[in-house]
Structure 1
């Protein structure tokens, strides 16, 4: 079935939904790790919100795959790299420097010294702040996207399905291995490799080549299993984040189900004025979350069930307004 303009409109809806889910996830992480006692009602609500939004980054990657793997595109490699470099390089440089300084300020306010070695580790880790890993992963994905598009165009439907399943299985096994052996995440320039599975799956689902049976049921089941799994594996001494991982046993199916439900929806609010700003919202929202936490405006020692989504909506709107203003500053559009 040919792709219609309405299908592309749904990708705009997917953008703002994923951006809001990112903000909710990070808002939920605060009571989950710092405020609420393990096993309490407030902790379980935070666990639920965290588990229910783990699809956000995979959906962003699937949106990129749906657009960049378009077989109808005839774009020279040079033009592709120039456009993507202009899109992502200024953002990586600016926000990495900004959040290194912002993080140093947070450490200073907490009375935690940050020596030269700590600065160097943060600067070279691929994650100067907790959410910026996505930029570095995306850079690797963009680097190979033209080759992936060529391979995608030349593969049969069966070969595409086999490739997606194989990469998902390897990524899930790698995550299990890391959990069981307490391994790290490795060198950041290789982080994009397992995300090729989401990248390819995004285009296949967009074209109707890949479908899950009963995606609504799959979504509900995987959210429940993610929340229960995190609760069972965690304790009062430590939060176990295995089930939150992008390639846990549950999150891939959850992410595919969400993307399919968005594509299948008869109508969704497209919000075309917000969709182009979601990249900037993703990058800027930790500023307002940090301010809300430090000023006590967001301190969910109780009432997490309503405080966390309320805080997420407020921080999303503040980030949206900030990005709109920033885009009117010279150079602001290039970093958002």
Structure 2
């Protein structure tokens, strides 16, 4: 009797450099900075509808980052050494930055901006994932990394079906998130009167440090879907043509909410306005970000560049992580200057943007040259 050893699994395919992803990373970080620079003025109503529309256009920046995270971290090559190696490598990249920058913002930047800090407040900010206004993203990424090996195993079980599985799983996950975050708005009052009077508010999912990853799983999956099962170029063109319509719709929703709709009166119309304007869990934002990312991959994922351009794009793309971490601190420091006031006037926003972007990139690029410092950039 003879026995044959099982044939070894084929090696994971190497990950080819895709310049589009670095271009999207650079563009997305510019959008993140823009949101934080103009957000106060948009909320305060000190700017016109044009700046509001610009703010709504930039609302795709964080979802695009999440999609790129999925595109890269659900690739078979990322898991070729097993879950342990995957988790260790990602933890080294994210955990030190999360710890150090959370401390920087809570202990230095927040008090400078006039915020109170105490042990109880600090613990609450950690639980809610709000150690800084933007650091929830790192909690989300850690959550996504935690479940990535399971998702990757499901997607890669049948290579020929990976794209289809990723698309359907991503769409279903986005739908689940949109519904979970819509429920509080839909149950906050007598939305339909009659038999529904007295319906108590419900919150199936509380956003926090341990749940952001679950909420953003749809974006994570769609990022992989858009690079492994490319839409046709014609479909990509139509998807990109849809994005200005989404921006106009988001702007209209925001202006309607500012005008008093969605203010909690209990009507279905108000609830709908609140759901559509509920940030990254809004179905409208999900449709916009998906159309933008999938449209760009359909048209430009096959684009390739030479070694010199690749070096520039890689360098700037890698610097976006440091820009993300440091830019808000620079913005807060800049706004301490007397002539910057509250930063909500149009000229103040313009000054802030043209200062914060290059300074953030310069600090990040410099930090990457210093061995110990680069661990938190």
TM-score bracket relative to the smaller structure: 0.7 to 0.9
Partner of 1:286: 328
Residue 179 of structure 2 is aligned to residue 138 of structure 1: no
Offset, 1:95:
0.8
What does residue 195 of structure 1 align with?
216
Q: Unaligned stretches of 5+ in structure 2?
A: 1-12, 189-200, 264-273
Aligned-partner SS, 2:59:
coil
After superposing the two structures, state which structure 1 stretch, 229-238 or 323-332, moved more.
229-238
**Distance of 1:249 and 1:70 partners within structure 2:** 26
Change (3 A) 1:82 1:72: closer
For structure 1, the residue ranges without an aligned partner over 5 or more in a row are: none
Match of 2:241 among 217, 228, 247: 217
**Whole-Å separation in 2 of the counterparts to 1:287 and 1:134:** 16
- Are residue 14 (structure 1) and residue 24 (structure 2) matched? yes
Deviation at 1:169, TM superposition (A): 1.1
* Residue range with higher mean Cα deviation, 124-133 or 236-245: 236-245
Measured in 2, the distance between the counterparts of 1:54 and 1:309 equals: 18
Segment drifting more, 284-293 vs 117-126: 117-126
1:62 to 67, 71, 75: 67
Aligned length: 324
SS of aligned partner of 2:281: coil
Q: 2:8 maps to which residue?
A: none
Per the alignment, in what secondary structure is the counterpart of residue 283 of structure 2?
coil
Cα 1:308–1:248 shift into 2, 3 Å: same
Which protein shows a greater Rg? Answer: 2
- 3-state SS in 2 of match to 1:188: coil
Q: Which residue number corresponds to residue 24 of structure 1? A: 34
The reply to whether residue 277 of structure 1 matches residue 319 of structure 2 is: yes
1:311 & 1:93 partners in 2: Cα distance?
Answer: 27
Aligned match of 2:373: 332
User: Within 2, Cα distance between the matches of 1:187 and 1:162?
Assistant: 26
| 1:246 partner SS | helix
Instruction: Give the stretch that moved more between structures: 77-86 or 172-181.
Output: 172-181
Deviation, structure 1 residue 238: 9.9
Separation (CA, whole Å) in 2 of partners of 1:192 and 1:140: 4
Normalised by the length of structure 1, the TM-score is: 0.85
2:258 aligned with 1:243, yes or no? no
| TM-score normalised by length of structure 2 | 0.77
Partner SS state of residue 132, structure 2: coil
Offset at 1:246?
Answer: 0.9
- Which residue pairs with 1:229 in the alignment? 253
- Shift of the 244–221 alpha-carbon distance from structure 1 to 2, 3 Å rule, reads farther
Structure 2 residue aligned with 1:323: 364
**Equivalent residue of 1:250, what SS?**
helix
Kept in 1, the 8 Å contact 2:63–2:280? The answer is: yes
Deviations 1:85-120 (A, max 9, x none): 11111111111111111244235xx3x544443233
Q: Distance in 2 between matches of 1:119 and 1:260?
A: 39
1:54-77 deviation per Cα after TM superposition (whole angstroms, max 9, x unaligned): 111111111111111113552222
Q: Counterpart of 2:125?
A: 122
Structure 1 counterpart of 2:55: 50
Q: Is the 8 A contact 2:127 2:208 kept in 1?
A: no
Match of 1:92, SS state, is: helix
Contact 1:226 1:250 in 2 (8 A): yes
8 Å CA contact 1:66, 1:199 repeated in 2: yes
1:260 matches 2:294? yes
Query: Separation in 2 of the partners of 1:241 and 1:230?
Result: 11
1:165 aligns with 2:189: no
Contact 1:300 1:308 in 2 (8 A): yes
Q: Distance in 2 between matches of 1:292 and 1:237?
A: 35
Give the equivalent residue in structure 1 for 2:7: none
